[in-house]
Amino acid sequence: MSRYIDPQDFRDMRRRADLNRKQAADLLDVTARTIQNWETGGARIPWMAYRMLRILTGCALPGKAWDGWTVHGERLYAPNGRWFDANLLGQVERVYAMARLWREDYASRHRKPAAVVLTFPAPGEVQKLLATRKQIGGAR
**What confidence tens digit (pLDDT) does each residue in 6-57 have?**
999 999 988 988 899 999 999 899 999 999 999 999 999 998 899 888 887 7
Q: Above 60 in pLDDT, residue 1? A: no
- Determine the pLDDT at residue 133: 66
- Determine the pLDDT at residue 112: 75
Establish how many alpha carbons lie within 13 A of residue 10's alpha carbon, considering only the half-sphere containing its beta carbon: 27
pTM for the whole structure: 0.48
Q: 79 or 140: whose pLDDT is higher?
A: 79
d(CA 109, CA 103): 10
Find, among 71, 47, 50, 74, the residue nearest to 60 by Cα: 71
Per-residue buried b or exposed e for 84-96, using 16+ beta carbons within 10 Å of the residue's own CB: beeeeeeeeeeee
- Determine the pLDDT at residue 41: 92
Domains within the chain, CATH numbers bracketed: 7-67 (1.10.260.40)
Residue-wise pLDDT tens digits, 53-109: 888 777 777 778 888 888 777 888 899 999 999 899 889 889 999 999 999 999 888
